[in-house]
């Protein structure tokens, strides 16, 4: 039987060669497709980072049982950073403000200078990797866990908001939404949450009753829906042409069908399903809803990115989207497997944590006497 790791390596090589050919033949269409695939997959480790922090602040069984999943998922952040390099190499193809900022106001023209755009991207990833390292080192130390998660949550929120504006909103430099950074935040949060829960369900670990995880998934989906609804209401009530155009472009040429599919698949169906106590308590239903959520990120990434880029070939974009999906999927899965295997401890991590906490409480009780 063929080793799954070697099979994924072959997939990565073949799809990588297809992407190289795509960048040579049609750089704009290939870069657009690559950014869609990268956004859908890189949202997993970036989004899982804030869920990791939340598990330190809200101490429950998941803090212990999902810790190896959190470590492995956040551990592939360097891979996410390296796989963003093709976008930086061809950024002039898809970012009008970077290709020619002469028509922009002075501040925005300086903000989108190529070297400054690259510098900010590098800085975002350095900060996220540092936060992930800090969270891993804080394990088993109650005070350090709270400090790292509290400060990290604030830093993560700010940097993610700026990253969303840089990477996605700037595809349309004339468009501006004051809530766009939060929309990108919800994009990451939903994907990270769904992946971590799904990975926990598929692992051999007993992660606890499904009802609590179903409630977590439902809460992040409601946040995602609320933020999108707020942007829609504010833009249409304000009736500002440059902002309304953002929705008009995504309401024609077939994109209205994609929007309808996203609305139904990401909110209507999961919301109605999770109202059922039977669904919330069934791990198979929860796993299916997590898979649906991960799939919906591809639709959302396509809606956010592709209508904003002009002069792309539908055929090349579709073919390169498949190639990028296989390439990035294989690379990320290989990295996740490697980090997860390396992070496994001979003694269950939960036992270490609970023993350390029990020792600290015993010492505190002794000092109290």
Quickly list DSSP for 63-78: HHHTHHHHHHHHTTHH
Which is more confidently placed, 346 or 71? Answer: 71
Which is more confidently placed, 362 or 214? Answer: 214
Q: Mean pLDDT over residues 137-164, rounded? A: 93
CA distance 48 to 138: 17
Q: Do the domain assignments include residue 243? A: yes
**Number of domains the chain contains:** 1
CA distance 266 to 293: 6
Q: Mean pLDDT over residues 160-172, rounded? A: 94
The per-residue b/e assignment along 129-144, b for 16 or more CB within 10 angstroms, e otherwise, is bebbebbbebbbeeee
Q: Do the domain assignments include residue 362? A: no
Which is nearest to 182 in space by CA: 166, 155, 196, 162? 162
**How much is the pLDDT for 174?**
83
For residue 289, give its domain range: 11-349
* Burial (Cβ within 10 Å: 0-12, 13-18, ≥19) of residue 84: buried
> What is the percent of the chain where pLDDT is above 70?
91
Q: Do the domain assignments include residue 148? A: yes
Q: Quickly list DSSP for 294-328.
A: HHHHHHHHHHHHGGG--S--HHHHHHHHHHHHHHH
| CA-based R_g, the chain, Å | 21
Q: Mean pLDDT over residues 198-220, rounded? A: 85
Q: How confident is the model at residue 221 (pLDDT cuts 50, 70, 90)?
A: very high
**136-140, 250-254, 263-267, 364-368: range with lowest mean pLDDT:** 364-368
Are 250 and 243 in contact by the 8 Å Cβ rule? The answer is no
**How much is the pLDDT for 59?**
85
Q: How confident is the model at residue 102 (pLDDT cuts 50, 70, 90)?
A: confident
Q: Do the domain assignments include residue 269? A: yes
* DSSP H or E stretch at residue 212: helix 210-238
Provide the Cα torsion 323, 325, 327, 330; round to 10°: -140
Q: Do the domain assignments include residue 131? A: yes
Q: Do the domain assignments include residue 367? A: no
Q: Do the domain assignments include residue 115? A: yes
The pTM assigned to this predicted structure is 0.89
CA distance 306 to 171: 9
Q: How confident is the model at residue 177 (pLDDT cuts 50, 70, 90)?
A: confident
**How much is the pLDDT for 345?**
45
**How much is the pLDDT for 226?**
93
Q: How confident is the model at residue 93 (pLDDT cuts 50, 70, 90)?
A: very high
Q: Do the domain assignments include residue 359? A: no
Are 330 and 15 in contact by the 8 Å Cβ rule? The answer is yes
Rounded to 5°, the CA angle 92-321-19 comes to 65
């Amino acid at each position: 039987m063929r080793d799954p790791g070697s099979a994924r390596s072959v997939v990565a090589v073949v799809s990588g060669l297809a992407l190289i050919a795509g960048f040579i033949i049609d750089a704009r269409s290939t870069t657009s497709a690559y950014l869609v695939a990268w956004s859908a997959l890189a949202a997993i480790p970036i989004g899982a980072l804030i869920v990791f922090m939340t598990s330190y602040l809200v101490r429950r069984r998941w803090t212990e049982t999902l810790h190896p999943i959190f470590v492995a998922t956040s551990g592939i952040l360097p891979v996410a950073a390296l796989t963003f390099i093709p976008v930086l190499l061809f950024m002039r193809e898809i970012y009008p403000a970077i290709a020619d900022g002469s028509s922009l106001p002075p501040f925005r023209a300086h903000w989108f200078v190529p070297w400054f755009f690259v510098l900010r991207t590098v800085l975002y990833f350095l900060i996220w990797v540092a936060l992930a390292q800090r969270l891993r080192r804080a394990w088993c130390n109650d005070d350090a866990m709270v400090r790292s998660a509290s400060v990290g949550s604030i830093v993560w929120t700010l940097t993610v908001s700026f990253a969303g504006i840089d990477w996605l909103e700037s595809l349309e430099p004339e468009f501006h939404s004051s809530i766009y950074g939060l929309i990108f935040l919800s994009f990451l949060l939903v994907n990270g949450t769904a992946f971590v829960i799904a990975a926990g369900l598929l692992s051999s670990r007993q992660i606890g009753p499904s009802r609590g995880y179903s409630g977590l998934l439902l809460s992040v989906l409601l946040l995602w829906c609320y933020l999108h609804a707020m942007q829609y209401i504010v833009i249409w009530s304000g009736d500002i042409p440059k902002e309304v155009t953002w929705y008009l472009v995504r309401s024609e040429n077939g994109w209205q069908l994609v929007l309808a599919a996203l609305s139904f698949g990401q909110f209507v169906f999961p919301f109605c399903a999770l109202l059922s106590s039977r669904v919330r308590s069934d791990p198979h239903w929860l796993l299916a809803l997590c898979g649906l959520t991960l799939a919906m990120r591809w639709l959302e990434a396509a809606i956010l990115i592709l209508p904003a880029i002009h002069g792309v070939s539908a055929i090349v974009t579709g073919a390169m989207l498949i190639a990028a999906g296989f390439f990035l999927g294989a690379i990320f899965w290989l990295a996740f497997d490697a980090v997860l295997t390396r992070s496994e401890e001979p003694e269950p991590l939960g036992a270490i944590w609970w023993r350390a906490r029990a020792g600290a409480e015993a010492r505190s009780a002794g000092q109290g006497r």
